[in-house]
Amino acid sequence: MIISGRYIKDAPYIPARVVVGQHEGVVWFLADCGAARTVIFDRTLDDLRIASSLMEPMEGRLVGIGGSVRGFLLRNTQMMFLSDRGEFQITFDLAATKHDLEQLPPDEALRLSKLPSVLGRDIINQFEFCCDYEAGTVSLKKRK
């Protein structure tokens, strides 16, 4: 089974249909082998119109290149990937971040509002991850 993605600018992305409660939409996730877990960021939360009431505070904080931020869990999130053999579904507790952008300097708020959601090792490590920048191909291949 092969799930195909593509390069957007110079980075590998994989699309997935994400369902959180009654909210649903296609999200292009930046494939990030440096990220321990898959996380959706502010812009994605806004695009999917996910209410704060669906976000359960996480213990501890999420740490990344942008620093440390309060994390949330979206329980029983479904991610559906389109593959060459049909749809492949994963159900798990998806991490999310929601910054208080109004409390930040405008340049920092703008930078954070543009961060893409990331597909981390919690998902990537279930597959063989292949990317070829020159060919423009990105894929996740399910191990047999």
Note the CATH architecture for domain 2-78+85-142.
Beta Barrel (2.40)
pLDDT value of position 103: 75
- Six-digit token pair at 28? 């292009």
pLDDT tens track for 69-125: 788 999 999 999 999 999 999 999 999 987 776 777 888 777 777 788 999 999 999
Cα–Cα nearest to 143, from 95, 88, 92, 91: 88
Q: What is the pTM of this model?
A: 0.88
Q: What residue spans define the domains of the chain?
A: 2-78+85-142
Cα–Cα nearest to 125, from 113, 143, 102: 143
